Amino acid sequence: MEATINGGIIYFVETGERGRLPVLFVHGFPFSSAMWDSQMEAVGRRCRAIACDIRGLGRSEVGDGQYTIEGHVDDLIGLLDRLEIDKTVVVGLSMGGYIALRTLERNPERFLAAVLCDTRAEADDNAGKLKRANGAASVKRHGAAAFAESFLPAVFAPESLRTKPEAVKLIKSIIAATPPLAIAGHLIAMAGRTDTTASLAAIGVPTLIMVGENDTLTPPALARAMHERIPGSKLYLVPGAGHMSNLENPEFFNSRLLEFLEGIAGG
Ligand code: MLT
């Protein structure tokens, strides 16, 4: 489905009954809602599950290639308004987590609960910003397929690269189909994001944190730091997984997610 939000076409998928607990999935960089297929199926049996393609990625409009996390927050709120969802559970992985954390900071009244996966509250340091700048220049020069080749070993655990060919193929094909302009635009958006660490202590909704035990991009130490700051939060390390914890160990990920959602739905 598509909706025009803040002047651009935003694509989303929706499953499950409308009257049930809304759960909004926000993907990482530079992926699409397709990374949530297994969760959409599992969660859609019990909740109203929605997964959107962030502006510029997946099937959403690329536009001018200039993005900010603030703009993505505006889009998320615009989509909730369009779907007439007053309050939702948000599930964000990595960049989806950056967007979720900033939305929780800006619009806490729109949330019932949060699930933060393989993400962090800290902004990029100088080394991180320079890496983004190099990545943006490189993807425009060498294209998305080359970017995908170099990105895969950073997001999947070495074991998953061998044992999860379907998941690796999915992510590779999503990245390769993404316009270099949109990849570069998101690297710049992430380099310019704000630090949400100071507001973690103010998160007042139930929060589940999950991170692949072998995640090297947003390692468990960062998840533990968020867990210590977010009152009453739960933390699980996803066995055997790297950065793509929902794809690398969907059995573990889905069971913890469903258990958490049951607690929210049950009130
Ligand atoms: C993601 O998975 O969204 C990105 O790798 C996050 C990042 O590069 O900071």
What lines the ligand 1 site, CB under 6 Å?
28-29, 94-95, 190, 217, 243
Q: What's residue 266's pLDDT?
A: 87
Greatest extent of the chain over all pairs of C-alpha atoms, in Å: 51
Task: List the residue whose alpha carbon is closest to atom 4 of ligand 1.
Answer: 29
Mean pLDDT of the region 226-249: 98
Query: CA-to-CA distance for 41 and 87, rounded, in angstroms?
Result: 21
For the cut 80, the answer to whether the pLDDT of residue 203 exceeds it is yes
Asked if 29 and 190 touch (Cβ cutoff 8 Å), the reply is yes
Mean pLDDT of the region 105-131: 98
Q: What's residue 124's pLDDT?
A: 98
pTM of this prediction? 0.98
Which of the four pLDDT bands, split at 50, 70 and 90, describes residue 260? very high
For the cut 90, the answer to whether the pLDDT of residue 3 exceeds it is yes
Distances (CA, A) of 193 to 44, 102, 128, 240, 261: 31, 9, 12, 30, 29
Ligand 1 centroid–CA 17 distance in Å is 31
Mean pLDDT of the region 242-262: 98
Mean pLDDT of the region 131-146: 98
Ligand 1 centroid–CA 190 distance in Å is 8
Ligand 1 centroid–CA 201 distance in Å is 23
For the cut 90, the answer to whether the pLDDT of residue 267 exceeds it is no
Distances (CA, A) of 142 to 54, 150, 159, 178: 23, 11, 27, 13
- 4 strand-pairing partners: 9
Which of the four pLDDT bands, split at 50, 70 and 90, describes residue 115? very high
Q: What's residue 259's pLDDT?
A: 98
Which of 31, 67, 69, 94 has most ligand 1 atoms within 8 Å of its beta carbon, as the pocket-test mutant? 94
Mean pLDDT of the region 135-162: 98
Query: Which amino acid, residue 90?
Result: V
Strands 88-93 and 111-117: parallel
Which of the four pLDDT bands, split at 50, 70 and 90, describes residue 112? very high
Predicted confidence (pLDDT) per residue in 87-105, tens digit: 999 999 999 999 999 999 9
Query: CA-to-CA distance for 205 and 89, rounded, in angstroms?
Result: 9
Mean pLDDT of the region 129-154: 98
Ligand 1 centroid–CA 56 distance in Å is 15
Which among 136, 252, 110, 263 has a CA at the least distance from the CA of 192?
136
For the cut 80, the answer to whether the pLDDT of residue 58 exceeds it is yes
